[in-house]
Amino acid sequence: MDIREQVVESFRTLTVNKLRTGLAILGIVIGIGSVIALISLGQGSQQMVQNQIQSLGANLLTVQPGFSQSGSVRGAAGGGTTLTLDDALALSTDPTITTVKNVSPEVSSRQQVTAGRNNANEQVYGVYPAYADIHKITLSSGSFVTTSDLAAQRKVAVIGPQVVTDLFATDANPVGQKIRVKGQEYTVIGVTASKGGTGFQNQDAIIYIPLSTAQKSITGSSSINSISVEAASQDVMTTAEDQVGYALLKRHKIADPTQADFSIFSQQDILNTASSVTGTFTSLLSGIAAISLLVGGIGIMNIMLVTVTERTREIGLRKALGAKRATIIRQFLIESIILTILGGCIGMAFGATVSFILSKVLSIPFTITMSSVLLSIGVSGGIGIIFGWYPARTAAKLQPIEALRYE
């Protein structure tokens, strides 16, 4: 028999024994499917947790001016005027800075704000449009500060939900209304979604206006209070910190880093938590993959061992009728490969479907990586082929009469 004929014969044998073939394919489908589904769910959860950590600002660097100096008296950190808008713009264009995604210069000031008869003391931030991205600000209505607002120094404001409660009637839509800050009138163009009062600063009680407007009308100074820098990922935080630091030292013409007139902060504790969570997830995923590969592999091994052992008499008969050892081994190998390919494809679809449904139910991101597919197909497929081939080889080695007598 040539190979082509053996492939045809193998398909015939497989279709003739539908139950046996079905069970073998089911074993492989479950084996491969469960590995893919489990790894995919694990990766989805990992991604979700990482996203949540990211939103806490794990990849944020904050650059603040150094100590304010009046004579020999040192003021508070961050009180200095050494950071300028040009510094921030330079950071976003400097070619030596490769690990930074976004740069957002910020000025802030507490101001008395009025709207009609209401008045409140609120934090006013002068910002760039990038601020919303970096600090994960979403709007419940209206829009955020735009580049053209910035260029035209427009008197527009985006206000937090707490500010809305402080200044307006409960059910009024503040967009389009006017507020007065430091005696000047601003038009409300958006309301931010509530973030809850996390940290030291109530994120909902802030008024955002264009940075240029803030510098001109409120602070009257070209210096800025801080620069938020978003690193490309939390893995490159250290590099980003170094790059930003050296770029600013160079701009400020300071040779000795200990004499720097600015400081860079990162959320070190969040970062530490993030990396330990990532580490835990990596080991969890390896564990899941190992266990599911083991379970799937044993399932496949069992079904292949059983189906081939069950056919020992058939092997004896085929040998008695003149099949050579190699012919028999080749036939079983071809059958195993067909079963594994079929089961593998169905298993992939099955695993992907299961993890898709579960990720929707558990509301975690749906991810399937090539590596998990290759891993499961490689290991389970290998096991399927080896345990289809090995017992067939053993049976083909038997004297035909022993195989024929096999019960």
Partner 1 sequence: MPKNQKNQTVISVENISKVYQVGEVETVALDTVSFTIAKGEFVAIMGPSGSGKSTLMHILGALDTPTSGTYTLDGELVSSLSDDELADIRNRKIGFIFQAFNLLPRTTALHNVMLPMAYAGIPVAEREERAADALTKVGLANRIHHYSNQLSGGQQQRVAIARGIVMDPAILLADEPTGNIASNQADEVMEIFHTIHRQGHTIVMITHEPDIAAHAERILHIKDGKLVNDERNTQKTQRVRKPEDRKTG
Q: How far apart are CA 79 and CA 73, in angstroms?
A: 13
Give min distance, CB of 9 to partner 1, in A. 7
Six-digit token pair at 69? Answer: 């100096």
Q: How far is CA 274 from the centre of its chain?
A: 12
320 in Cβ contact with 8 (< 8 Å): no
Cβ at position 404, least distance to partner 1 in Å: 7
Q: Which is nearer to partner 1, 46 or 312 (CB)?
A: 312
CA distances from 208 to 106, 116, 258, 374 (A): 10, 19, 34, 49
Identity of the amino acid at 366? F
Nearest residue (CB) to partner 1, 151 versus 320: 320
In the bound complex, what is the minimum distance in angstroms from residue 328's beta carbon to partner 1?
10
Task: Closer to partner 1 by CB, 118 or 399: give it.
Answer: 399
**190 neighbors 158 (Cβ within 8 angstroms):** yes
Q: Report, in Å, the least distance between residue 22 CB and partner 1.
A: 14
Minimum gap (Å) between residue 313 Cβ and partner 1:
7
Identity of residue 398: L
Nearest Cα to 131, choosing from 228, 56, 58?
A: 228
Q: Which is nearer to partner 1, 17 or 177 (CB)?
A: 17
Q: Report the nearest approach of partner 1 to the CB of residue 5 (Å).
A: 7
To partner 1, the closest distance from the beta carbon of 308 in angstroms equals 16
Q: Using DSSP, how many helices (H) and how many strands (E) does the chain show?
A: 13, 12
Give the 3-state DSSP-derived string for 23-34, with helices as H, strands as E and coil as C.
Answer: HHHHHHHHHHHH
Compute the least distance from the CB of residue 1 to partner 1, in Å: 5
Residue 204 contacts residue 192 (beta carbons within 8 Å)? yes
Report in angstroms how near the CB of residue 327 gets to partner 1 at its nearest.
Answer: 7
Binding site for partner 1 (CB under 8 A): 1, 5, 9, 12, 16-17, 313-314, 317-327, 399-401, 404
Q: What are phi and psi of 293, to 5 degrees?
A: -65, -40
The residue (of 175 and 334) whose beta carbon lies closer to partner 1 is: 334
Residue number with CB closer to partner 1 (194 or 399)? 399
What single letter denotes the amino acid at residue 76? Answer: A
Please give the structure tokens belonging to residue 347: 């298993």
Q: Which is nearer to partner 1, 326 or 362 (CB)?
A: 326
Q: How many CB atoms lie within 10 A of CB 243?
A: 20
Instruction: Give 296 or 316: the residue with its C-beta nearer to partner 1.
Output: 316
Mode of pairing for the β-strands spanning 69-70 and 73-74: antiparallel
Taking CA atoms, 352 is separated from 36, 123, 135, 339, 375, in Å, by 7, 49, 34, 19, 14
- Specify the residue, 169 or 401, whose C-beta has the smaller distance to partner 1: 401
Shortest distance (Å) from residue 304 CB to partner 1: 20
Q: Per-residue DSSP letters for 232-290?
A: SSGGGHHHHHHHHHHHHHHHTT---GGG-SEEEEE-HHHHHHHHHHHHHHHHHHHHHHH
Q: Which residue has the tokens 């990596």?
A: 282
Residue 102 vs 327, nearer CB to partner 1: 327
